[in-house]
Amino acid sequence: MLDHRSRLALVALCIPTLQGAPEARAQTTSDTIRIEQAIAEALHESPQVRAARLRAEVLRERDTRAGALPDPVLSLGLMNRPFDFDADQAVTMNQIQLSQRLPWAGKRSSSQAREEGLARAADLDAVEVTASVVERVRTLYYHIAYIDRAVGVMQETQSLLADLQETASTLYSVGSAVQQDVLRAQVARARMEADIRVMREQRVAAAARLNALLGRAPDAAIGSLELPDPVSEVPELDALMGLAEHRPAVRAARARVEAATAQRDFADKAHLPDFAVTVGYSQRPEFDDLFSVMVGIPIPVQRGSSQEPLRRESEAEEVAAEASELELYNETYASLAERRSEAVRAADVSELLRTDVLPQARAAVESGLSAYRVGRLDFMAVLESRMLVNQYEIERLRLAAEHQGALAAIDALIGVIPGGAQ
């Protein structure tokens, strides 16, 4: 069996989400934002990440105070003084007392264990929030990269449609085509222009969301982004399932179960009395000084209406925490299966489009255009074949972004944060 560190290393090798294809790397320019840069910026600047870390620090401060003894109480008194302040009485004294409450054995350790569990859960919650932010950054990053490339494909298609319109106009001028062919080409170009505008508006919205995650101004410029091809191999489901229990949220739920157990232990001891030890010194002006030692113990006369409800409440909270942990683990298990299926499907279909469908579709366009020029094929067939190529190319880009988003979700579900702590 692999240990946790080895498993994470295996996943890191099998999911090269931050490594693009060599060809894509060669084409990057100086203004390209790398995914590593976006993640590093999110880890440092994201308001959500900072807020989660601060909440964890608050609970850690509580943890440092847990289990400490209550502050002692110092009392000063002028005892048994007559109104004329005559100090010649035997009962007249100046008194100083120091008292300390001592919880029953085990109460302090239970209280400390509870706070430690809650602090540990808060730390893991911060890691979960960080992983979630990184996942969203990666998903938005690749979605914007997809939009940019899809717009490029549309613009290329628009240029080809212009050539097709020119061909139709030329054939129409010599009587080899009908005017309807020219009009259809114009309509197709107009529709493509409308689609390009829609995609650009989507990019503005996606860029604003990405800027929010990076702690930037909503209208901050987002340069060109990388979109690597889908990886050929995705880790097997069994390997991923072995890592489900290492998800930060699952580990936080387990820490809350431990905290609830400690709280139940404390509630079981709630009926046991705390001690109050008091040491006093009495100075008598005209007589010998005195000292006193007292021990106080509260009497649990309201155990049935006070301690017992607390015990039942803590037992219910422990059961609820255990149920939440199990539910979260099962949900993580199911999400891993779903996300892996999405990653595999996107990779397989993208590869099929790249190696089989698109070459044939492009060949059909070239063949159809040649046939149209000599009058052996109608214009609509040529137009439809060209639009199919546009559709397939955009679909391949969309699948590449979907694949990267699925891998980002898998990393978040197993607690892997590229560029951050696990």
CATH number at residue 169: 1.20.1600.10
Note whether 412 and 131 are within 8 A (CB). Answer: yes
Note whether 392 and 359 are within 8 A (CB). Answer: no
Q: Average of pLDDT values for 120-148?
A: 93
Q: Residue 355: CB partners within 8 Å, gap ≥ 6?
A: none
SS3 content of the chain, % helix, strand, coil (to 5): 65, 10, 25
Q: What is the DSSP string of 166-216?
A: HHHHHHHHTTSS-HHHHHHHHHHHHHHHHHHHHHHHHHHHHHHHHHHHTT-
Which among 215, 422, 420, 413 is positioned nearest to 333, based on CA atoms? Answer: 413
Q: Average of pLDDT values for 186-204?
A: 92
Instruction: State the Cα–Cα distance between residues 262 and 103, nearest whole angstrom.
Output: 16
Joined tokens for residue 374: 């000599």
**Residue 171: inside a domain, yes or no?**
yes
- How are beta strands 73-79 and 275-283 bridged, if at all? unpaired
Which among 304, 191, 26 is positioned nearest to 199, based on CA atoms? Answer: 191
**Residue 349: inside a domain, yes or no?**
yes
The model's pTM: 0.76
Which of 118-127, 137-146, 266-275, 383-392 has the highest average model confidence (pLDDT)? 137-146
Note whether 189 and 182 are within 8 A (CB). Answer: no
Residue 396 CB neighbour total at 10 angstroms: 24
Which residue type is seen at 4?
H
β partners of residue 294: 278
More confidently predicted of 247 and 185? 247
Map tokens 């859960």 to a residue: 121
Res 238 pLDDT > 90: no
Count each helix (H run) and each strand (E run) in the chain, helices first: 11, 4
Instruction: State the Cα–Cα distance between residues 136 and 141, nearest whole angstrom.
Output: 8
**Residue 421: inside a domain, yes or no?**
no
Range of the domain at 359: 4-413
Q: Average of pLDDT values for 163-188?
A: 77
Instruction: State the Cα–Cα distance between residues 220 and 402, nearest whole angstrom.
Output: 25
Give the pLDDT of residue 6.
42
SS3 state of residue 179:
helix
**Residue 422: inside a domain, yes or no?**
no
Kindly report the CA angle at 383 between 379 and 384, in degrees rounded to 5? 115
Largest CA distance in the chain: 136
SS3 state of residue 298:
coil
Which of 9-13, 14-18, 114-118, 169-173 has the highest average model confidence (pLDDT)? 114-118
Kindly report the CA angle at 275 between 269 and 278, in degrees rounded to 5? 165
Contacts 24+ apart (CB under 8 A), 88-94: 88/285, 88/286, 90/284, 90/286, 90/287, 92/284, 92/285, 92/286, 93/282, 93/283, 93/284, 93/290, 94/282, 94/283, 94/284, 94/285
Which among 297, 145, 154, 258 is positioned nearest to 206, based on CA atoms? Answer: 145
- Distance (Å) of CA 167 to CA 153, 172, 182, 215, 371: 21, 8, 9, 51, 12
Map tokens 């009962």 to a residue: 91
pLDDT band at 175 (very low <50, low <70, confident <90, very high): confident
- DSSP letter for 84, please: T
Number of structural domains in the chain: 1
Res 90 pLDDT > 90: no
Give the pLDDT of residue 337.
92
Res 154 pLDDT > 50: yes
Joined tokens for residue 157: 């298609």
Joined tokens for residue 242: 């072995």
Which among 32, 9, 7 is positioned nearest to 20, based on CA atoms? Answer: 32
In which order are the strands placed within the sheet that holds 93-102? 73-79, 93-102, 275-283, 290-296
Instruction: State the Cα–Cα distance between residues 284 and 194, nearest whole angstrom.
Output: 99
pLDDT tens, residue by residue, 241-264: 888 888 899 999 999 998 898 888
pLDDT band at 179 (very low <50, low <70, confident <90, very high): confident
Give the pLDDT of residue 143.
96
- Distance (Å) of CA 266 to CA 24, 153, 373: 60, 66, 88
Joined tokens for residue 104: 């029953």
SS3 state of residue 290:
strand
pLDDT tens, residue by residue, 301-347: 766 666 777 788 888 988 998 899 899 999 999 999 999 999 999 99
- For residue 264, is it left (φ>0), alpha (ψ between -120 and 50) or beta? alpha
Kindly report the CA angle at 140 between 151 and 148, in degrees rounded to 5? 15
**Residue 418: inside a domain, yes or no?**
no
**Residue 223: inside a domain, yes or no?**
yes
